[in-house]
Structures are given as structure tokens and as C-alpha cells.
Structure 1
Amino acid sequence: MDYGDKLFWLSVVIQRKYAEVCAEFDLTPAQATLLCAVRNEPRRMADLAASLGMTKNALSQLVDRTARRELVGRASSAQDRRVVMLSATPTGKVLGEAVYAEVAKRLPEIARNLDADDQRDFERVATAIVDISDLSPPASNQRVTP
């Protein structure tokens, strides 16, 4: 297997572990990701779609399904009525925090058979990759009150 194959299979290992955790909370991986993304503060729908690599339409459908479970809600921004903000409901916040905590606890298990130095290296490299990624919009775009 070449490096690309290894990265592909690493993504499968991560997705499988993540899906196991999500199922325990009766959430799809997409719903869990959405809840974790908005658990601490409201986010602009457009920014969230970009961060999650989804079209606005796909995110809207995901939000509709998750809102039917009363886990998230939409609101217009106080600064700009055209901007739609997404936030967790109180129930969604509790569930999002629980999912996030369980994922943070169990995802590192994928490296459990590595020695301590390799585990530290894995954590360092994974952190560096996320830190330089385009997963989050600039902080100035995130703090808009609904």
C-alpha cells in the first residue's frame, strides 16, 4: 500500500470509530458533527457549510432533520437579517457536549497500539494538519449574535 492508500484507510478507521460513537447517541455522523460545531456558540449557516464542506442546500436539509428533533434552531442575525445563524437548543447543547466528550475520549484509541513516542508524534501531526486547514472561518466571522 502506498501513502495515499494508508491515508484513505486511516480515514476509514476514524470514520468507523466516529460512527460507532454517534450511533450510541442515536445520531447520524452528520447530525453529531453539526451539534458539535454549534454546541458552544451560534454559527453562520454559510460559514458552517464551508467548514463542513457541504453545499448550503445540503446543510439546510441536515438542519431541517436535526431541527425536527429539536436539537438545533435557526435565527436571523441581529446585525444582518439576511444572515442565518444556527445554534444548539438546550437539549442539543447537552447532547453535543456529550458526543464531543465521548469522541474526544475514544478517537485517540485508534493509536492505542502505537508506542508512547509514536502516539505523541501522531497527536502533534494531527494537530498541525487541523491547525493549518480551512475548517473554521476567521474568528471575526464567528461571533455574530442572533
Structure 2
Amino acid sequence: MTDIPGLGNTLVCLSTMIQRRYAQICADHDLTVAQAQLLCLVKDRPRRLGELSHLLGLAKPGLSGLIDRTERRGLVQRVSCAQDRRACDLTSTPLGKEIGDALHADVGARLPEIVADLPADDRATFAGLAAEITGCH
């Protein structure tokens, strides 16, 4: 598939570097990586539990445990869905939104430090290629 020797290993190293930096940022906000991901998904709008299960790649028991732990901290809350009594949405509390917004800003400020030593043109090229690969524009 690729004719670039070592590209796979380099990508794994980059992924590890990003994951470690992200985990440290989460810890600085007193969050686990899973709690941070959950908060980021609900900080701006409520989400159905099924949607969260899909987005986070968690089975319902794992998602329920994550929600329970995050709810006990006062960061999210379950809200009954008016259209379907059996369903509920998950939304952030005001504290959860505040922490989620702060985390999001911190990630935006600190993760790019990984490429800070590259020349400006290379950083711009990297940003464009990463956006193209991930579909996150």
C-alpha cells in the first residue's frame, strides 16, 4: 500500500505522542480521557445514549458506567426525552460545560505544541494534510 519505509511505525509514534499529550491535558482538568471525550460530545448539545455509544465505541454497560461516574461529579445529567419516555438524552451541566470549554481551549492551545519546532510552512502543510486524512476541516 505504501512505498515509504517506516511510515507505519512513524504514525504509531505520532499517535502515541498525541495520546500522551491529550491524556496529560485531560489530567490537568481532573478528567479521564473517556470523561473528556464524553464532555466534549455533550458540551454544546444534548445527545442520545445510543448516539454516544456509537461515537465513543462503547457498549451500553461501559457507557452507563462512564455516565454514572461523570454524573456523580456533577458534569453531566440525564434528561428524559419528551418524544419517547423510554429514551433519555445526556447533557452537560453548567459546570460540565465550563470544564468542557476550558478543556477544548487547552487542547487547541497545547496539542499543536507537538509541531511547534517545525517551520511555519511545514506546520501549515501538516495541518492541511491532517485535516485531509481525518476529514476534520
TM-score normalized by the length of structure 2: 0.88
Alignment of 1:1-146 (within 5 A): 2-131=6-135
Structure 2 Cα separation of the partners of residues 121 and 46 of structure 1: 37
* Structure 2 unaligned regions, length at least 5: none
Q: RMSD between aligned alpha carbons?
A: 1.5
Structure 1 Cα separation of the partners of residues 104 and 44 of structure 2: 11
Amino acid at match of 2:114: I
Q: Count the aligned residue pairs.
A: 132
* Structure 1 unaligned regions, length at least 5: 133-146
TM-score normalized by the length of structure 1: 0.83
Measured against aligned partners, the alpha-carbon deviations of 1:66-107 in whole angstroms (never above 9, x if no partner) come to 001010011222222233211101111101100111011111
Amino acid at match of 1:123: A
Residue 31 of structure 1: CA displacement? Answer: 0.8
Q: Which residue of 2 aligns with 1:142?
A: none
Residue 116 of structure 1: CA displacement? Answer: 1.4
Amino acid at match of 2:100: G
Amino acid at match of 2:36: A
Structure 1 Cα separation of the partners of residues 65 and 52 of structure 2: 13
Q: Which residue of 2 aligns with 1:143?
A: none
| Sequence identity (%) | 50
Structure 1 Cα separation of the partners of residues 96 and 10 of structure 2: 35
